[in-house]
Amino acid sequence: MDNASLPVVVALMAATLRQATPLILASLGGVFSERSGVVNIGLDGIMTCGAFFGVYGSYKTGSPAMGILFAIIAGMIVSSIHAFLSIHLKADQVVSGVAINLFSGALTSYLLLVLFNRQGQTDGVNALTYPKAFMRGIPVIGGFLSELNWYVFMAIILVFVTYFILYKTSLGLRIRAVGEHPKAADTLGVNVYAIRYLCVILSGALGGLAGASLSLGTTNLFREGMVSGRGFIALAAMIFGGWRPFGAMWASILFAFADAFQIVAQGFGWAIPYQFYSALPYILTMIALAGFVGKTTAPAADGVPYTKGER
């Protein structure tokens, strides 16, 4: 990065937002799914698929926009498996999510071999061009803006969109009702299954986009294991954020800050082993979850399959 001219604080802020982006997107996916009452532990795997298919789409078509579309569709397909298993077959949602995580890792390594004839990682592909120079020309905040990418803007816009849907539209009212008391919603003619399918698939779309923002948005390539637990950190952010879009965003930013900070801090030359810095984001996640989660409450029907005609 040629940001030698930028003050450290500005660089740190920009890096935080860049790192927060996949977390924000995935945690929004979590918000949709869990608000409707379906636990989606498979977000990590969905991100992996999104990261892979984003790169594949861009590689195949030469267009990074198509890559993003591929990623979103891949996320939707994988999450519809989760939806079918947990809503239709009423399988244990955690087990189904774990299965999706395992499946995604294996699937992408296999496809890496078949589609790219590579092992470990793909070649670089076209990424969205970001008008760095133009951004730098903007007064005052130009330096900061020039260090971001389009995914950052998408993520922040989607936070507002998610908030709007959940709290301002009738769909949102129904989603929240279905996650709290599906039977009450059912007795008012709300289709519990349809709402849950929709939300799980939406969470897949957001998880896929989160994956693309990681592969296409940072390295322009797909590397095995590149998601490295971010799906879980996103879930932690969602919980820490009280299952609310803005809460999830701030929590994601907090976790990302720890991540960005460790990289900057390693350059400070303090006499602390670098492993400590690397562990920082995870330590923070644990402290946040252990210390604050008690104060937020999950949707009452989160993780509970709904059976019609039972009481």
Partner 1 sequence: MEKVVEMRGITKVFPGVRANDDVNFELAKGEIHVLLGENGAGKTTLMNILYGLYQPDSGEIYVNGKKVDIKTPGDAIKLGIGMVHQHFMLVHNFTVAENIILGKEPKKGITVNMKQAIQDVKKLADLYGFKIDPEAIIEDITVGQQQKVEILKALYRGADILILDEPTAVLTPQEIEELGVILKNLVKEGKSIILITHKLKEVMSMSDRVTIVRRGKVIDTVRTSETSIDRLAEMMVGRKVSLKIDKAPAKPGKVVLEIKDLRAQDHRGLPVLKGVNLEVRSGEILGIAGVDGNGQSELIEVITGLRKSTGGKFILNGKDLTGKSPREIIEAGIAHIPEDRHKRGLVLKYSLAENAVLGKHYAAPFAKGIMMNYARIKEYARTLIRDFDVRTPNEEVMASALSGGNQQKMVAAREINKDPELLIAAQPTRGLDVGAIEYIHKRLVMERDRGRAVLLVSLELDEILNLSDRIAVIYDGEIVGILDAKNATENELGILMAGGSLKNKKEGGIV
Binding stretches for partner 1 (CB under 8 A): 164, 168-170, 172-174, 176-177, 180-181, 183-191, 300, 308-311
Residue 48 near residue 104 (C-beta atoms within 8 A): yes
Smallest distance, ligand ATP to C-beta of residue 308, A: 10
Q: Show contacts with ligand ATP in window 281-310 (CB under 6 A).
A: 310
Number of residues that bind ligand ATP (CB under 6 A): 2
Q: Which is nearer to ligand ATP, 278 or 307 (CB)?
A: 307
Smallest distance, ligand ATP to C-beta of residue 300, A: 20
In the numeric block, the tokens 């990623």 are attached to: 71
Q: Rounded CA gap, 2 and 159, in Å?
A: 30
Q: How many C-beta neighbours within 10 Å does residue 279 have?
A: 14
Q: Which is nearer to partner 1, 272 or 300 (CB)?
A: 300
User: CB under 5 to 8 A by kind: which of partner 1, ligand ATP, none does 43 bind?
Assistant: none
Buried b (16+ CB within 10 A) or exposed e, 135-158: beeeeeeebbbbbbbbbbebbbeb
For 58, the token pair is 């861009």
Q: Which is nearer to partner 1, 164 or 270 (CB)?
A: 164
Q: Rounded CA gap, 22 and 209, in Å?
A: 8
Told to check if 2 binds ligand ATP by CB under 6 A, we report no
Smallest distance, partner 1 to C-beta of residue 307, A: 11
Report the candidate in 192, 144, 176, 147 with the shortest Cα–Cα distance to residue 245: 176
Q: Show contacts with ligand ATP in window 134-193 (CB under 6 A).
A: none
User: CB under 5 to 8 A by kind: which of ligand ATP, partner 1, none does 190 bind?
Assistant: partner 1
Report the candidate in 212, 220, 227 with the shortest Cα–Cα distance to residue 42: 227
Smallest distance, partner 1 to C-beta of residue 35, A: 12
User: CB under 5 to 8 A by kind: which of ligand ATP, partner 1, none does 88 bind?
Assistant: none
User: CB under 5 to 8 A by kind: which of partner 1, ligand ATP, none does 185 bind?
Assistant: partner 1
Which residues does 96 contact at the CB level (< 8 Å), separation at least 6?
Answer: 42, 81, 82, 85, 86
Report the candidate in 36, 29, 21, 73 with the shortest Cα–Cα distance to residue 52: 73
Residue 86 near residue 244 (C-beta atoms within 8 A): no
Q: Which is nearer to ligand ATP, 295 or 311 (CB)?
A: 311
Smallest distance, ligand ATP to C-beta of residue 93, A: 23
Q: Which is nearer to ligand ATP, 2 or 310 (CB)?
A: 310
Q: Which of 1, 117, 273, 311 binds ligand ATP (CB under 6 A)?
A: 311
For 260, the token pair is 């960005």
Q: How many C-beta neighbours within 10 Å does residue 273 have?
A: 9
Distance linking the first and last C-alpha atoms of the chain: 60
Smallest distance, ligand ATP to C-beta of residue 194, A: 23
Smallest distance, partner 1 to C-beta of residue 148, A: 30
User: CB under 5 to 8 A by kind: which of partner 1, ligand ATP, none does 176 bind?
Assistant: partner 1
DSSP-assigned letter for residue 221:
S
Residue ranges binding ligand ATP (CB under 6 A): 310-311
